[in-house]
Amino acid sequence: MRLSTLRHACRNLPTPSVHQPRTGVRVFGLAKSSLPLGPSSNSQLLLRAASSVSGTTSAEKAPKLGKQTDGPGYENTIRENVQRTKEEMVALQRGHPALKPTLAIIQADEDDRLLELNKKMAGKIGLNVTQICLPRECTEDEIIEEVLKLNEDPRVHGVYLHLPPASLTSRVLNTLRPEKDVDGVSDLNVGRLVRGDMNQGFIPPLANAVMELLARHGEQRKIVLVVGGEGPLGVALQCLMQRRGMVVLHSRRSSEVLQKQVCTHRCRRAHTHIHLHKAHLQHVSIDTLCFDHSVAVTDLCQSGGNIAIIDHGMEMSGVGPLTAALRMQNVVQSSSRWAQGQQYRPWTLRSLKLQPLSPVPSDIEISRAQTPKPVDQLAQEIGLLQEETEAYGRTKAKVRLSLLDRLREQPDGKYVLVAGITPTPLGEGKSTVVIGLVQALSAHLKLNSFACLRQPSQGPTFGVKGQRGQISTRISMLEISMLINESFNLHLTGDIHAITAANNLVAAAIDARMLHEATQKDKALYSRLVPSVNGVRRFSPIQISRLRRLGISEIDPSALTPQEVSSFVRLDLDPAKVTWQRVVDTNDRFLRKITVGQASTEKGHVRETQFDIAVASEIMAILALADGLGDMKTRLGRMVVGSSRSGQPVTAEDLGVSGALAVLMKDAIKPTLMQTLEGSPVFVHAGPFANIAHGNSSVLADKLALKLVGEDGFVVTEAGFGADIGMEKFFNIKCRASGLRPNVVVLVATVRALKMHGGGPNVSAGSPLPREYIDENLSLVGKGCSSNLRKQIQIAHLFGVPVVVALNVFKTDTQAEIDLVCQMAKESGASDAVPCHHWARGGRGSVELAQAVKQAGSQPSHFQFLYSQETPIVEKIRMIAQKVYGADDIELSPEAQAKIDYYNQQGYGKLPICMAKTHLSLSHMPEKKGTPTGFTLPIRDIRASIGAGFIYPLVGTMSTMPGLPTRPCFYDIDLDPVTEEITGLF
């Protein structure tokens, strides 16, 4: 509701007929130099002091109202308000010791009296005051710029605009965030007052002060004439007076109209006149208390009424101080609300209804049939503050990490990991189980629940549809059941592009540094690395860090010895030992091996290198494991990009690029908030490989979600590939880095995969399924359950976490097969085993799973790591091979053994292990299904991601750049230029 509408409504409120004798009239005048009262300069007024006369208009005979009877008068009122506010302040700071309530004053008025009065009152109560001084001729945009800064400053709890009347435009006043508008002048706060909703709004302090004066002088249930009052103050006064049973009359501003109205029978009935602008009485000088020339007032006086005149003399001792005290009361109230808002708030999640159809429509049809909630509404429902989100369009938003500080004391919810049995090349639907489970928990069991998913790579989106190979992270719309937004499989919020830019900046820095070192002497190189600016040479902070690592304490560039200069400028990277590759988020097989430096400008410095797909970058793994911006910056700096000719590791910090990398990644570190088709919240963040990296979504997404759901809520996340790979890495790498401990493992199985492990024919992407997978075959299902399913349950038990088996039901599965799987899963040690029908029924199809997870989550979790950090590298690898994969032993190649010796020498021996092996078998042989035994696991090479914080042994050959098939998906993808509708993406 706009303010003009409110004014109209207030002016037209019914005025009952009152026939009572007029025993006296009080006139309260309001003059200039005041508080912000509204967009009209005529409403920028300050309530003056009051005095009383009896049958005369002589100022000399008028005693000061502030000195009247009624106890000590206004001083008592002020003192009581100050004391009450101080007590509220003490109670607030007792509960929130770190809170410092602060009032910000924007000043562009030369009159400092009110300013000093407010600062003095703030000091009495113990409030902090910050003052922003602007020139009197400042523009509207300059004021708004300062207001916007204060809106976003969490240290400021109230804003007071001490500005010239002409500067207080509607645009300025409504720029104020309502929760910081302690003068109650924004349209929203005035609207709240009119509606009687003051739980979040503020009563204008001046209007409040007037009401206190009226109450003190017994002006209850009388007729009041308000002259002027076209701004928020007038609206507020009318509302407050009418609530106290007063009849409020209103007069226009012009003196002619006022004289006529005052002389009318209607206005003569008024017991109290309140003037909101002295210009209304053109012949009256309120400042000099001379009313002899006012026809209106004289007429009232001649009628025998008593007049109390508000006098300029009490500005600093009467209503002015009272108004200031009430403003400070609003600041303390605002601070209290802010403190309450920082606490955990119960969710008010509104679920979106689904209408399941049979047969199940296509992915894109499901997506477009549902209208998502605006992301700001979703954020509010789950307890996020406005300043904690950054919207990317209507359905996506980044969430700021400041949430972790706000909810630091909030207990975490239950932590659920969704893993799977060894999959077929088609995948078994772990992502769909995550979404179905969260929808069942939140929309159907009404438990706070959050899904945390990896961001899919854009490469496979245009490559092989449905591909679930080593590097595919594409998640179809059915798997996601969510986002009602094609951007999930495209750019999303640009995190992968940021990773690509950061990764390739490192690659460019490596080649450029090798070229410059090869073509320049030490002195020339030094003069360019530490240039003279205005005759002064200084090391940058990152160069000082390099000096410290070299053991050089000198920070004066001119004081280094020639040997120190040489050590500083020479990284001496060995081109044959550069391990850093360029990346691109496109499937491009011809970039698997390339030659760089062939231009004549590179002076023959040619070397072979390669491109990886963007999600294979170590920076992606760092994004997934970092627990804050500072931790990410440290990890980026310690990334090893190669070795020097002397065998020393060279890091990104040695290159001087780590600070720039942090800048490129500063927004990517914030998780992206989206929603499922049923309106449940989802964090999409990070998407590292599940072979050469750990294959889990980010630590930060999990931590934010665990705080948001509250102690009784659930956070459900996914591990890539089977439990032997994704789950093991989740526990030994991610949980070790995050400090989080899971409560439940959900192990996803399908009848199709179990038949394959029971001896069924091979399954391959793009080929029709053999009949064994379509027809009922209890024998194959039973053998698969007794081999692979049982083994995967045992792997989960190695870590001491309860297991619930979720059977992802396909339409070809028979009831007998479903019952057999559930029975054998429980016999193998699962806490429970239930069928899931989320693919066809949404969250309703996973209610049974949700109930089983809730029950398992109430059981104690005895989580433990598989190995200690102190365990030697070789023994860590052996423990994983024997206890998880079922191997007899491991076999290290000479190259692998040499790398282990090197990593031990460099102090990397305590890092966890990230095994890079096929996901299609428990062994290193993808054709071996079920539970292979009697094999030795070969380790052909060992590499390290020092920034991410793990060592990854290579078991077989790992491809880090996929290629396009004969018929890629892009043949089916198109855009309607009129409707902008995308087709063929799902």
The verdict on whether 730 is a catalytic residue reads no
Cα dihedral angle (931, 935, 936, 942), rounded to 10 degrees? -40
The verdict on whether 350 is a catalytic residue reads no
Which of the following is catalytic: 432, 609, 651, 918? Answer: 432
Which of the following is catalytic: 721, 730, 731, 986? Answer: 721
542, with CB counted inside 10 A (0-12, 13-18, 19+), is middle
Helix segments in 34-139, DSSP class H: 74-95, 113-125
The verdict on whether 791 is a catalytic residue reads no
Locus of tokens 């792997």: 795
Which of the following is catalytic: 31, 690, 833, 944? Answer: 690
The verdict on whether 236 is a catalytic residue reads no
Q: Peptide bond preceding 359: is omega within 30 degrees of 0, i.e. cis? A: yes
If phi over 0 gives left and psi between -120 and 50 gives alpha, with beta otherwise, what is residue 163?
A: beta
Cα dihedral angle (339, 341, 343, 345), rounded to 10 degrees? 160
The verdict on whether 633 is a catalytic residue reads no
Which of the following is catalytic: 48, 398, 465, 513? Answer: 465
Residue of 327, 335, 340, 364 lying closest to 157 (CA atoms): 335
Which of the following is catalytic: 26, 192, 398, 454? Answer: 454
Cα dihedral angle (700, 702, 704, 709), rounded to 10 degrees? 180
Contacts with 626 (C-beta within 8 Å, 6 or more apart), sequence order: 632, 635, 669, 698, 699, 700
Q: How far is the C-alpha of 655 from the C-alpha of 138, rounded, in Å? A: 47
The verdict on whether 635 is a catalytic residue reads no
Q: How far is the C-alpha of 938 from the C-alpha of 887, rounded, in Å? A: 10
Q: How far is the C-alpha of 623 from the C-alpha of 615, rounded, in Å? A: 11
Helix segments in 97-224, DSSP class H: 113-125, 140-152, 170-173, 187-195, 205-216
Q: What are phi and psi of 688, to 5 degrees?
A: -70, 155
Using the 8-state DSSP alphabet, how is residue 590 labeled?
G
The verdict on whether 721 is a catalytic residue reads yes
Which of the following is catalytic: 430, 546, 670, 755? Answer: 430
Contacts with 153 (C-beta within 8 Å, 6 or more apart), sequence order: 104
Which of the following is catalytic: 79, 253, 810, 826? Answer: 810
**DSSP string for residues in 79-93:** HHHHHHHHHHHHHHH
Residue of 375, 948, 462, 386 lying closest to 672 (CA atoms): 375
Q: How far is the C-alpha of 487 from the C-alpha of 484, rounded, in Å? A: 9
Distances (CA, A) of 50 to 27, 321, 501: 9, 13, 69
The verdict on whether 430 is a catalytic residue reads yes
Query: What's the one-letter identity of residue 442?
Result: S
Catalytic residue annotation: 430, 432, 454, 465, 690, 721, 810, 839
